[in-house]
Chains A and B, each alone.
Chain A
Amino acid sequence: MRFTRLSAPAHGPFTGETLTPAPGLTVVWGLNEAGKSSWHSAAYLAITGLSRKRGRATKEEQLIIERRRPRTGDLWRLEADLVLDDGETLSVNWDLNQRVAKVLDSLGRDRANAWFSDGAPDLARIVGLDRASFLATACVRQSDLQRVQDDAHLLQDLLQKATTSADADSTASAAISIIEQFRKDQIGLERESSTRPLMEAKRRVETTSQALIAAQKAHQDRLHLLSQLTDGRTRLSERRDELQVFQTARSVAEARHQHRELVQRLSERDTLAERVQLLASQIERLDHREQVLLAARLHAQRLEVVRNIERQVSETATARQAAADAERNHHELRGQLTWLQFEQARRTAHSSKQRFARASELQHRHPLAPAHPADHDQVGRSVAAGPARATASTPLAIAAIATAIIGLILGIVIHPALFVLTVAGIVAAMITLRHRFGQPDHTDSEFQERLDRAELTNLLGGATVEDLGLEADQDQRLWQEQASVVRGLDPGAEALEAVDNRTLKERIHHLTGLTADASHQAAKLHNQIPGNDPNLMLTSARVNTDEALSRLQQLDRDAAERLAACSITDVDAQLSTCRSEREQRRQTRDQSAGQLRQLSATSSDGLAPSSGDQPGPSGDQSTPVVESDPVNHSAHRVIELEDAFSALPAQATVGFTLATLPSAEALSSLIDKATAEVERLHHQVAGLEGRLQERDAPGAAADPAAAVENHEAAIRELARVRELAEVLDETQSLLATAEDRVHRDIAPRLNASTNRWLPRIFGDRYTKVLIDPATLDVQVFAAGDVHRADLLSQGTTEQFYLLLRIALTESLTEPSGESCPLLLDDITVNFDRERKIAVLDLLREVATERQVLLFTMEDDVLEWARANLSGTDTLIELPGRVTA
């Protein structure tokens, strides 16, 4: 690409000037302010224009705008004709204020959009550069060279920038540093203490993961709770159904039982009612019978009165006769008694007299005092011994002794007199025996004496003989007194003679009692004789009896015939029996009535209370009234309940049927168990519902969906950060690889290009340039020494710098296949003449491959140009100084 025309309709100081470069080297010479730099910038702007990039303009552009915008007028325009290496022509017309251009090809087509960068046409693209890299390589200004002194690493920086990107604003190393810094800020290290996005994202993922797990667990717990609740509700429902079955079954059983009871109770009640009625009837009859019996009793009483009065009449007569008889009997008895008492007195008097006589005899015979009591024993023994000695005595003696013993015993027991008589008999017997069997011997006399003394003692009985005499006298007097009494009475003495004393005494005693009784009886009978006349009372009583009988006959004529003959005792007995029976029946009736009432009261299924349960005032019993067909009602209820049971779905699971229904008691047990189970399940379900309600309370419920979204967002953020990290790593790696590759690629070419021109400028001074492909450091070899190029002298460094710019232009534009013009502004100012000529010669040689526009104010350059340029090279001398 090369300029064939460059016009400046409005640029800097120009207002329509035109420059016509040669295809090779064009040296544009002028004085200061002749417009060299304006033309240099015009050439640059004609190729690159100005970018339309947003934001602040680059420093270079800002400088160009400040220096080259026309100072007058609104236009800033440039025009240029370009010829590409293939012969294509481009006519460029720039409006730099608008930063637009028309780039017309030979066919008149606008090709501006074919080469575009930063929003504006950029024809540097044709040679593989852009406006920035063009400015950094092919466009060399004096100010660029002046920077060599200010920047010790200018060459390296130049190379790095130039080899990094076309615009040469940055280096690959800087780009990598930017990425590293960005990674540090936006990713951070993967360690716990990091607070950068990567670890923050990981922590958030961990946090949200835990939250998600917790939410899912809470959700699963809730679902489990719901399952438990469903299970509990199902079991509760089943148990309730089962309970309902049991309850219905029990109702069936109870209804059946009640039905049976009802039927039975109805039967019982009918029976009871009949019984009550019967009892009432019986009671009524007994009441009537009582009335009859009371009437009969009254009649009997009246009749009894009559009989009593009649008996009283009779008894009065009898009493009078009895009293007379008793009186007479009394007199007779008194007479007998008197005789007996007389006889007794006589005998007593006689006895007393005999005792006194005997005692006197004995006293007389034995003046001694009566025997000591011991003598009695001795006498006894003597009496006993006597027979012993008379072993051969006759049985008479034995009989006498036996008789004596018996007589003694009897005498002692019965009467002392008998005792005395017995003793006397014994004595007499002893005497008889003595006289019969021999003379008493000496021993016999003593024995007799002792007997006598004993007898005396016995006769006295502790008294004296004189006492006995007095007693005999007294008894004699008494006997005489009695004799005077009995004088005139029936003697009967002869009959009494045979009576012994004891009998006599007994007869006296008996007669004394009889006499007293007769006296008492007589007195009593006298007292029993009524004072009034009972016959008068008898008449009145018989009237009353007739009235009572009439009343009885009124009540019951048949009974009257029977009862009229009954005694009051019989009537009372019958009355008692009647009342007892009635009372018994009343009790039975009341009991039955009570049962009947109880039956009615406890019945809720049809048995109505009956008025017949209570005896009416009249004792009438009514038939119990039962509600309309309670049996049918009950049976219907049983059927209804059985149907209800059969209709229950759960009845098929309980293990029994209507036919095998358990008893009500067994069902009650089942109901109790089922009720307890229902209660337990109800509480269990209520507890679960409470827990669920608590879990589902606003704010307490887990939100697994939100937790998932949170976690997913965290995962996405982590993935984004990781992806960014990988992008940065990949980018960094690619950049490092590209940098290395470019450096390794361009360094040899730069070395070759530079070394090719090195002798032309430096001769043998500097024989070789070596550009480090890793760092792009520029080193030069001089006489075996290696030097950093940017540490050489100002001019030498500028010369190396120029060579590198030309080499870079070659290298960077080579891939485009289009030659890139070099725009050089006052580059040789600091060169000595020898090297300046060498550089100019070199430029003329370079210009055979690409167009070179060299702007200069130096006279020796002008001189060189005038001497050397021709053909494809030319010298343009600017006229004077342009007006600012």
Chain B
Amino acid sequence: MLRGDGGGENEANAVGSRPKAGGDTIKIGHLADVHLDSAFRWAGPEVGGRWRRAIRTTVTNAVDVALAEQVDAFFLGGDIYEHDYVSPDTAQFLADTLARLAPIPVLVAPGNHDYLCPSSLWVQASWSYNVHVFDFDRWQPFELVDGLTVWGTAHGRPAGTGPMLDQLGIDRGGINIGLFHGALRSGVPTGATAPEPHLPFDHVDIQRAGLHHAFSGHYHNPRHDEWLTYPGNPHPLTFGESPGRGLVIARIHDDGRVEADVRNVSPTTFHDVTVDLTEAHSSEVVRERVAAALTGLRGAARVHLVGDLATDLDLDAIGLTDQKGSLDAIVLRSSGLRPGYDLESIRNEATVRGQFLRDLEARTDLPPERHAAILQTGLRALDGRTDLAVQA
């Protein structure tokens, strides 16, 4: 183990001059893509505000874990906060939180959402002595311990940061580690933006640059391989995120190998829950089924309602979104519901209803959600019902 005999002495050492405590492994904590002050566009401001506070708790938890793990350094791989939404007290929060890690060095590589500029929080805040923010548009070495150098850089703009690994000129031996916010060209997740404006790179670039490993941020899908570690966003930002995101606790061996574990530090989870409403002929049954599916969950839940919805049930009247329990919010998705009509029979009717269904089914230009909404609205209207409002 690296630590053990230098803790007391380290308090007197300036950042960057901490002596290697011994052993052959350096333990670091790596966090990225926190997106403090992020706007949750799909949620209201009340829920959004609650989750913004939860993101702060995530950072606090990450620092607690790092302290408990007795890491030798704490890496921040960019997009720690949202420059466009940053609140006035975020700087103080981060400064206070990161100061708790002193004398453990905190190395910061600002990303495209928290890029370095005169109004940047990284420039404005009064950081404790253990916090080192890498400059933009150039690589800076930071000798973490004797024989282990961290090379970092920052984004200086929200977009337009081109490839930079080819500019990295490593001038020393030992273990060289990269810390930057970049986009792996070969690993663009589904739905992610194009990598080019955000410091694009490939695995081979890491090797060519002479780095033993790169700790990065940008993609929210976690990734860890021989050359690269993406910790992913530690606090959920939307539904449907894969697990395994959070604070990476990595061990850098003296031969440059990196082993990593992920610690969940988020106080909340975004759940995707599916509830089948088939045979649920009463609102009570529907509520019971949804409540059962949400039991014990915290955070937010996106409830996918599927199955056959009894024709006389009105989901709006049932008020499922009020059934939050210990959750912060519930988001309902009913596009998987089928109206509780015998469509096969109706389709065969020589009636307006049958014709309506056949005509509707002939409309292939309609998206499924609208198709379902029209179907249910039409059938309910033909039933003489006035509760036509349906959720897509």
Q: Which of B44, B52, B123, B346 contacts A166 (CB 8 A)?
A: B346
User: Could you tell me if A164 and B353 are in contact, using CB atoms closer than 8 angstroms?
Assistant: yes
Q: Which of A165, A226, A704 contacts B119 (CB 8 A)?
A: A226
Chain A CB within 8 A of B84 CB: yes
User: Could you tell me if A169 and B383 are in contact, using CB atoms closer than 8 angstroms?
Assistant: yes
Most A Cβ at <10 Å: residue of B118, B342, B390: B118
User: Could you tell me if A814 and B377 are in contact, using CB atoms closer than 8 angstroms?
Assistant: no
Q: Which of A162, A176, A224, A742 contacts B381 (CB 8 A)?
A: A176
- For A116, list chain B residues within 8 Å (CB): 342
User: Could you tell me if B373 and A727 are in contact, using CB atoms closer than 8 angstroms?
Assistant: yes
| Alpha-carbon distance between A225 and B82 when the two chains are bound, in angstroms | 17
Chain B CB within 8 A of A229 CB: yes
Q: Which of A52, A704, A706, A812 contacts B349 (CB 8 A)?
A: A812
User: Could you tell me if A174 and B384 are in contact, using CB atoms closer than 8 angstroms?
Assistant: yes
Q: A175-B381, A230-B124, A705-B38 are in contact. Are A166 and B349 (CB under 8 A)?
A: yes
Q: Annotate A216-250 by CB proximity to B: 1 below 8 A, 0 otherwise.
A: 10010011111111110000000000000000000
Q: Which of A117, A165, A176, A224 contacts B353 (CB 8 A)?
A: A165
Nearest-neighbour CB distance to chain A for B326, whole angstroms, equals 22
Stretch from A38-46, A179-187, A424-432 contacting the other chain: A179-187
Most B Cβ at <10 Å: residue of A130, A165, A169, A182: A165
Q: A230-B118, A712-B42, A734-B356 are in contact. Are A128 and B350 (CB under 8 A)?
A: yes
- For B346, list chain A residues within 8 Å (CB): 165-166
- For A68, list chain B residues within 8 Å (CB): none
Q: Annotate A721-741 by CB proximity to B: 1 below 8 A, 0 otherwise.
A: 001101110110011011101
User: Could you tell me if A128 and B356 are in contact, using CB atoms closer than 8 angstroms?
Assistant: no
Q: A164-B351, A170-B383 are in contact. Are A735 and B281 (CB under 8 A)?
A: no
- For B49, list chain A residues within 8 Å (CB): 706
User: Could you tell me if A169 and B352 are in contact, using CB atoms closer than 8 angstroms?
Assistant: no
Q: Annotate B76-95 by CB proximity to A: 1 below 8 A, 0 otherwise.
A: 00000011110111000000
- For A812, list chain B residues within 8 Å (CB): 349-351
Nearest-neighbour CB distance to chain A for B65, whole angstroms, equals 26
- For B360, list chain A residues within 8 Å (CB): 734
- For B313, list chain A residues within 8 Å (CB): 54
User: Could you tell me if A54 and B282 are in contact, using CB atoms closer than 8 angstroms?
Assistant: yes
Q: Annotate B351-390 by CB proximity to A: 1 below 8 A, 0 otherwise.
A: 1111110111001001000100110011001111110111
Chain B CB within 8 A of A858 CB: no
User: Could you tell me if B118 and A231 are in contact, using CB atoms closer than 8 angstroms?
Assistant: yes
User: Could you tell me if A704 and B352 are in contact, using CB atoms closer than 8 angstroms?
Assistant: no
| Alpha-carbon distance between A528 and B383 when the two chains are bound, in angstroms | 176
Nearest-neighbour CB distance to chain A for B48, whole angstroms, equals 4
Chain A CB within 8 A of B13 CB: no
Closest residue of A by beta carbon distance from B40: A709
| Alpha-carbon distance between A704 and B313 when the two chains are bound, in angstroms | 39
Closest residue of B by beta carbon distance from A701: B88
User: Could you tell me if A219 and B84 are in contact, using CB atoms closer than 8 angstroms?
Assistant: yes
User: Could you tell me if B392 and A163 are in contact, using CB atoms closer than 8 angstroms?
Assistant: no
| Alpha-carbon distance between A251 and B181 when the two chains are bound, in angstroms | 47
| Alpha-carbon distance between A227 and B41 when the two chains are bound, in angstroms | 28
User: Could you tell me if B384 and A178 are in contact, using CB atoms closer than 8 angstroms?
Assistant: yes
Q: Which of A167, A176, A231, A811 contacts B350 (CB 8 A)?
A: A811
User: Could you tell me if A734 and B378 are in contact, using CB atoms closer than 8 angstroms?
Assistant: yes
| Alpha-carbon distance between A15 and B49 when the two chains are bound, in angstroms | 69
Closest residue of A by beta carbon distance from B387: A182
- For A723, list chain B residues within 8 Å (CB): 370, 373, 392
Chain A CB within 8 A of B164 CB: no
- For B48, list chain A residues within 8 Å (CB): 705-706, 709
- For A129, list chain B residues within 8 Å (CB): 349
Chain B CB within 8 A of A118 CB: yes
Closest residue of A by beta carbon distance from B366: A730
Nearest-neighbour CB distance to chain A for B138, whole angstroms, equals 19
Chain B CB within 8 A of A53 CB: yes
Per DSSP, chain B at the interface is loop
Chain B CB within 8 A of A876 CB: no
Chain A CB within 8 A of B311 CB: yes
Residues from 6 to 61 in A contacting B, C-beta threshold 8 Å: 52-55
Chain A CB within 8 A of B293 CB: no
| Alpha-carbon distance between A706 and B84 when the two chains are bound, in angstroms | 12
| Alpha-carbon distance between A181 and B377 when the two chains are bound, in angstroms | 13
| Alpha-carbon distance between A116 and B345 when the two chains are bound, in angstroms | 9
- For B88, list chain A residues within 8 Å (CB): 222, 695-696, 701
User: Could you tell me if B281 and A119 are in contact, using CB atoms closer than 8 angstroms?
Assistant: yes
Chain A CB within 8 A of B348 CB: yes
- For A737, list chain B residues within 8 Å (CB): 355, 359
Chain B CB within 8 A of A710 CB: yes
User: Could you tell me if A227 and B44 are in contact, using CB atoms closer than 8 angstroms?
Assistant: no
User: Could you tell me if B281 and A52 are in contact, using CB atoms closer than 8 angstroms?
Assistant: yes
Chain B CB within 8 A of A745 CB: yes
User: Could you tell me if B374 and A730 are in contact, using CB atoms closer than 8 angstroms?
Assistant: yes
| Alpha-carbon distance between A175 and B82 when the two chains are bound, in angstroms | 50
Q: A186-B389, A230-B118 are in contact. Are A705 and B345 (CB under 8 A)?
A: no
Closest residue of B by beta carbon distance from A215: B85
User: Could you tell me if B384 and A746 are in contact, using CB atoms closer than 8 angstroms?
Assistant: no
Chain B CB within 8 A of A371 CB: no
- For A695, list chain B residues within 8 Å (CB): 88
Most A Cβ at <10 Å: residue of B119, B282, B313, B366: B119
Chain A CB within 8 A of B310 CB: yes
Most A Cβ at <10 Å: residue of B85, B366, B386, B389: B85
Q: Which 4 A-B pairs have the closest CB atoms?
A: A226-B119, A696-B88, A738-B355, A175-B381
18 A-B pairs besides A54-B281, A128-B348, A227-B117 with CB distance below 8 A are A55-B312, A130-B345, A163-B350, A165-B346, A172-B382, A178-B385, A178-B388, A182-B389, A224-B119, A225-B119, A229-B124, A696-B89, A705-B82, A709-B43, A727-B373, A738-B355, A742-B352, A816-B348
A and B contact pairs by CB, cutoff 8 A, 23 listed:
A53-B311, A53-B312, A115-B345, A117-B345, A119-B281, A130-B342, A165-B352, A165-B382, A181-B386, A219-B84, A223-B83, A224-B119, A227-B118, A704-B85, A705-B45, A705-B48, A705-B82, A709-B41, A709-B43, A712-B42, A730-B370, A734-B359, A745-B350
The chain A residues found within 8 Å of chain B, CB to CB, are 52-55, 115-119, 125, 128-130, 133, 162-167, 169-170, 172, 174-176, 178-179, 181-182, 186, 216, 219, 222-231, 695-696, 701, 703-710, 712-713, 716, 723-724, 726-728, 730-731, 734-735, 737-739, 741-743, 745-746, 811-812, 814-816
The chain B residues found within 8 Å of chain A, CB to CB, are 37-45, 48-49, 52, 82-85, 87-89, 117-119, 123-124, 281-282, 310-313, 342, 345-346, 348-356, 358-360, 363, 366, 370, 373-374, 377-378, 381-386, 388-390, 392
